[in-house]
């Protein structure tokens, strides 16, 4: 048998090998750029993918409007709500929810700073979980007005910049809320998760945070077909970015979107 047949420059085997190589190379080079751009990225131990996208690390079209996050210097994923920053502790993609921390470092010293502020949610994007409990903070409580009210003083969370000023913290079902409001003024409410029968500190409640549910386009069909979900802000339409081109819902559908 003439083995040189397999190694001659123009043998059928060599031609088939070269053709296959170039076809594979062409296929790789023709992979849709939006599919490549929307590869999930990580911030610390958090995997970030649709509906979220990391600002300055992923393209805006890789996420749903209003779901931009950032990755801070400590490799923590940050979501801005009501002009306040919240640390994302965990994202539950399957049931469209995430756990956030109210304020990093709050209550670790006696300065009561930074102050927690009310959270205002856009119902079109995020909704509070039914497990949420309201944790009231009353700032700048005048110690003279509190006097010797031992019941209220048990709710003292920390002292302010002055020895005459304190902060009280209590849950939204506390019977002393009215009295605290009279002696301290208006309070702010931080959502926290509190479970029946447990006894945890205010600091632990804040550290554990709270759960939000989100509302966005469903990514499951696209994801299961091997695509990467995205969104066209201009046309306000969901996109499924696939290796060949953008599709309407999944990579196995016959509908296409052409990149502009």
189 assigned to some structural domain: yes
**Cβ neighbours of residue 146 closer than 8 Å, sequence gap 6 or more:** 152, 153, 166, 183
For the whole model, what pTM was predicted? 0.77
195 assigned to some structural domain: yes
122 assigned to some structural domain: yes
Per-residue pLDDT of the chain (260 residues), as tens digits, is 554 444 455 555 544 454 444 444 444 457 899 999 999 999 998 999 999 999 999 999 999 999 999 998 889 999 988 778 899 999 999 999 999 987 545 445 445 556 777 888 867 889 988 778 889 988 888 878 787 788 888 888 876 656 678 888 899 889 999 888 888 878 888 888 887 667 888 888 888 889 999 999 999 999 999 999 999 988 999 999 999 999 999 998 655 554 44
Please state, in angstroms and rounded to a whole number, the distance separating the CA atoms of residues 96 and 67. Answer: 12
User: Are residues 119 and 23 both part of a single domain?
Assistant: no
230 assigned to some structural domain: no
User: Are residues 205 and 109 both part of a single domain?
Assistant: yes
Task: Give the pLDDT score at 148.
Answer: 76
End-of-domain residue from the set 167, 187, 209: 209
180 assigned to some structural domain: yes
Task: Give the pLDDT score at 77.
Answer: 94
223 assigned to some structural domain: no
Question: Per DSSP, what are the bridge partners of residue 146?
Answer: none
Domain span at residue 178 reads 103-209
51 assigned to some structural domain: no
Task: Give the pLDDT score at 253.
Answer: 61
Task: Give the pLDDT score at 251.
Answer: 93
215 assigned to some structural domain: no
> What's the structural domain count of the chain?
2
Task: Give the pLDDT score at 163.
Answer: 66
End-of-domain residue from the set 167, 186, 209: 209
């Amino acid at each position: 048998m003439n083995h040189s047949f397999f190694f001659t420059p123009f043998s059928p085997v060599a031609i088939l090998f070269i053709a296959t190589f170039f076809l594979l190379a062409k296929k790789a080079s023709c992979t849709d750029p939006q599919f490549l751009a929307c590869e999930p990225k990580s911030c610390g131990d958090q995997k970030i993918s649709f509906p979220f996208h990391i600002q300055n690390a992923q393209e805006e079209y890789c996420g749903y409007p209003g779901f931009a996050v950032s990755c801070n210097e400590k490799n923590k994923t940050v979501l801005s709500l009501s002009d306040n920053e919240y640390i994302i502790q965990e994202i539950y993609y399957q049931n469209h929810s995430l756990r956030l921390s109210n304020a990093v470092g709050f209550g670790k010293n006696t300065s009561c700073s930074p102050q927690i502020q009310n959270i205002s949610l856009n119902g079109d994007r995020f909704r509070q979980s039914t497990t949420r409990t309201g944790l009231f903070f009353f700032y700048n409580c005048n110690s003279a007005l509190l006097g010797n009210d031992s019941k209220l003083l048990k709710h003292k969370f920390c002292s302010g910049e002055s020895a005459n000023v304190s902060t009280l913290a209590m849950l939204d079902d506390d019977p002393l809320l009215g009295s605290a409001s009279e002696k301290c003024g208006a309070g702010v409410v931080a959502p926290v998760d509190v479970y029946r029968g447990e006894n945890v500190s205010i600091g632990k409640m804040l550290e554990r945070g709270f759960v939000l549910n989100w509302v966005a386009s469903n990514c499951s069909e696209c994801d299961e077909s091997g695509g990467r979900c995205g969104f066209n802000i201009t046309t306000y339409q969901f996109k499924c970015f696939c290796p060949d081109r953008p599709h309407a819902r999944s990579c196995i559908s016959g509908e296409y979107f052409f990149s502009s």
